[in-house]
Structure 1
Amino acid sequence: MLQLEAYLGQSEVLRLVEENLGAGVWRCDPAGQMQWSRGFFGLLGLDPHVIVPSFAEIQRRIHPDDRRSSRDPSEMMTDRSPLDGEFRIIRPNGALRWLHSRTEVLLDSAGEPECILGVALDITAQRRLLQTVRIDAERYSALAQVADGLLWIGSSDGRITALPNGEKRPEAQRLFGKAWVDLLHEEEREAALSSWAASVETARPYSVEHRLRQPDDTYRWHRCTAVPVTNGDGSIREWMGISVDVHHEKLSVQHATTSRLTGAQLRAARGILNWSVKQLAARTGISAAIIRRLEEYNDAPLMPHGAMEILHRVFSDAGVEFLFPLVGKPGVRPR
């Protein structure tokens, strides 16, 4: 740098720094007289041919919510806080900018304060980026709280490294690392690990259903899904997943294979598809008269097993799912 200074004047260096970094420099002597660089005028959006540099002018441009206590400029020789730190300024055209300011007291040969030298940087872009990151973080936190399941972050080798919403679920701590593998039911363990290995190799989403051992040594069905989080070069940094308890849903589906349709379910299923009785009869081969008679029952009417299978299949192919919860009334929904 000492060699470089021999070739560059101070004004050239100052201009280069201010223009390329969005910076400005100011100086204030003990009497309160200030001098501003061209860059500092630019930061405040002021015309150097019109405005006389002063501490009061700077204070006038600082956002009201960011102003510190007003004082005599000479006091800044011992307390520089009014112009140290980050604050917003409002330019004459109404534009709002964020500045980061630092000051230093320079001493004369006798060790007495000679002046204050300050430098300010325009950090508006960084502040906006930080605001975006903060909003995203708050949204992520909110989603973690309302997620209908246990969120987890894992590495490619299958280790769970974090549980974003697990602080209120003490039992979830037993899943950390690879401990979750030992909690899988032995009948689903091999398939789950095989699916995980395939997802890691292909970078495709992971999705399995398995039984997980509970603290009381019982097992409950869970649906576990995960997607890779990648780096800029496309490599996988980590996996983000969620494990949802689907025990009642799983048992309901299993129960449905042996449950009989109710008249109320048939009416609701037709309503979802906007089918008439004649249209259902045409699709199933069951007479319209029989269908009307079946729909008169709110409970499960007597019907041949073959007819029930046909109704199940036709509605299922059309996108309707019948529900038979262990608790509550049978239902129906679009699939």
Structure 2
Amino acid sequence: MRHLEEYLDPSDILRFFEEKFGTGVWRCDPEGRMQWSRGFYSLLGLDPHAVAPTYAEIERRIHPEDRRSQHDPRELVFDRSLLDGEFRVIRPNRALRWIRIQSETFLNSAGEPEYALGVATDITEERRSLQPLKTNAGRYAALTQVADGLLWVGSQDGRITALLNAENKPEAHRLFGKGWVDLLPEEEREAALRIWAAAAETGQPYDVEHRLRQSDGTYRWYHCKAMPVTDVDGNIREWLGISTDVHQQRPAIQHAALPRLTGAQLRAARGMLNWSVKQLAARTGISAAVIRRLEEQNGFLRLPDETLTSLCDALSSAGIELTFGTGKPGVRPR
């Protein structure tokens, strides 16, 4: 069986790869004498009939900002770092190109360096395609610094898989995985998971306010928003979210716009959640007898602000939205 190499001339193979892949080859012996292929001349934009192949000529073509300290060309055989790497070259027509060089030193039978062989590749388009990614990475790094809240990445099943700016937030690790669920008041966890599942199923933005337990046992209010990140086929790959402490803002918000609630809305919301009167009483700290009496009233309930807020917060945390359109007040899943 004959191998492919027996059918091909080495010069044909070299020409094929140089033309198809934008590469060029150079060779350097221990005396610093170099030979360049036509492809290498082409990468530098030089005429093989007018320019001698020397290390000095390569150095002249390298962009001033990318040049390394000058060395004797004879060192190329012993030190591959002199040309290996990525750098810019300026062609005689002032065109700027990026090239990558990889080289290898070959030894003679005595184990001494016989010559160095290098392969250069034009990577200009690759560099250009990476530039937007670098720009976006810079913007992302700035975003993590200016964001007021904790930036996180979540999975479809509600796990937090990454914390993006937690360096100065020592307690942020408690939210990792499904730790955030354990930090919710126990009576609000089921509703929180249901709201997340609805967002994951529909791809709609996740936007809630809930309380999270602090290390000292107290609770603070957080506003959590997340958007789905999709792949090229439109499938949700992950969620990008931010959790912002709004505890100090809530009293002002509640004072500026106190919630409203009718007896019919209270009764309908409880039925939609399939809660008993006792369950709602347990979640709000309001007696079951009071809740029954409130559900029987017509019109807006006249209650102390604290009691009214407690009822509305319990329903909201469970995924109920109170509506006040042009018709009658109503309720709907949020």
Compute the TM-score of the two structures, normalised by the length of structure 2: 0.71
Aligned to 2:104: 104
Aligned to 1:213: 213
Contact 1:154 1:162 in 2 (8 A): yes
After superposition, what is the alpha-carbon deviation per residue over 1:14-53, rounded to whole angstroms, capped at 9, x for unaligned?
A: 1111112211001223333322111101110112222221
After superposition, what is the alpha-carbon deviation per residue over 1:260-292, rounded to whole angstroms, capped at 9, x for unaligned?
A: xxxxxxxxxxxxxxxxxxxxxxxxxxxxxxxxx
Q: Aligned letter for 1:114?
A: E
Distance, in Å, in 2 between the alignment partners of 1:239 and 1:116 is 51
Distance, in Å, in 2 between the alignment partners of 1:145 and 1:109 is 59
Q: Aligned letter for 2:223?
A: R
Contact 2:19 2:39 in 1 (8 A): yes
Q: Aligned letter for 2:167?
A: E
Structure 1 109/213 Cα, relative in aligned 2: closer, same or farther at 3 Å? closer
Find the residue that maps to 1:151 and give its secondary structure.
strand
Unmatched 5+ stretches in structure 2: 260-324, 326-334
Deviation at 1:178, TM superposition (A): 0.8
Aligned to 2:30: 30
Contact 2:226 2:242 in 1 (8 A): yes
Matches within 5 A, 1:46-125: 46-125=46-125
After superposition, what is the alpha-carbon deviation per residue over 1:181-204, rounded to whole angstroms, capped at 9, x for unaligned?
A: 121234543332211101111122
Structure 1 248/41 Cα, relative in aligned 2: closer, same or farther at 3 Å? same
Unmatched 5+ stretches in structure 1: 260-316, 318-335
Distance, in Å, in 1 between the alignment partners of 2:162 and 2:203 is 20
Distance, in Å, in 2 between the alignment partners of 1:164 and 1:82 is 39
Distance, in Å, in 2 between the alignment partners of 1:113 and 1:245 is 66
Deviation at 1:93, TM superposition (A): 1.8
Deviation at 1:233, TM superposition (A): 2.6
Contact 1:185 1:210 in 2 (8 A): no
Distance, in Å, in 2 between the alignment partners of 1:2 and 1:235 is 50
1:15 is aligned to 2:26: no
Deviation at 1:257, TM superposition (A): 4.2
After superposition, what is the alpha-carbon deviation per residue over 1:207-251, rounded to whole angstroms, capped at 9, x for unaligned?
A: 111122222222222111111112223222211101112223332
Identity %: 65
Distance, in Å, in 2 between the alignment partners of 1:12 and 1:118 is 18
Matches within 5 A, 1:243-254: 243-254=243-254
Find the residue that maps to 1:57 and give its secondary structure.
helix
Distance, in Å, in 2 between the alignment partners of 1:212 and 1:110 is 73
Distance, in Å, in 1 between the alignment partners of 2:157 and 2:94 is 54
Deviation at 1:73, TM superposition (A): 2.1
Aligned to 2:40: 40
CA RMSD of aligned residues (A): 2.3
Structure 1 145/110 Cα, relative in aligned 2: closer, same or farther at 3 Å? closer
Distance, in Å, in 1 between the alignment partners of 2:71 and 2:60 is 13
Structure 1 250/117 Cα, relative in aligned 2: closer, same or farther at 3 Å? same
Name whichever of 139-148 and 78-87 sits farther off: 78-87
Matches within 5 A, 1:1-335: 3-186=3-186, 188-257=188-257
Q: Aligned letter for 1:191?
A: A
Find the residue that maps to 1:244 and give its secondary structure.
strand
Find the residue that maps to 2:190 and give its secondary structure.
helix
Deviation at 1:2, TM superposition (A): 7.0
Structure 1 105/219 Cα, relative in aligned 2: closer, same or farther at 3 Å? closer
Contact 2:151 2:242 in 1 (8 A): yes
Structure 1 185/56 Cα, relative in aligned 2: closer, same or farther at 3 Å? same
Residue-pair matches, total: 260
Structure 1 192/50 Cα, relative in aligned 2: closer, same or farther at 3 Å? same
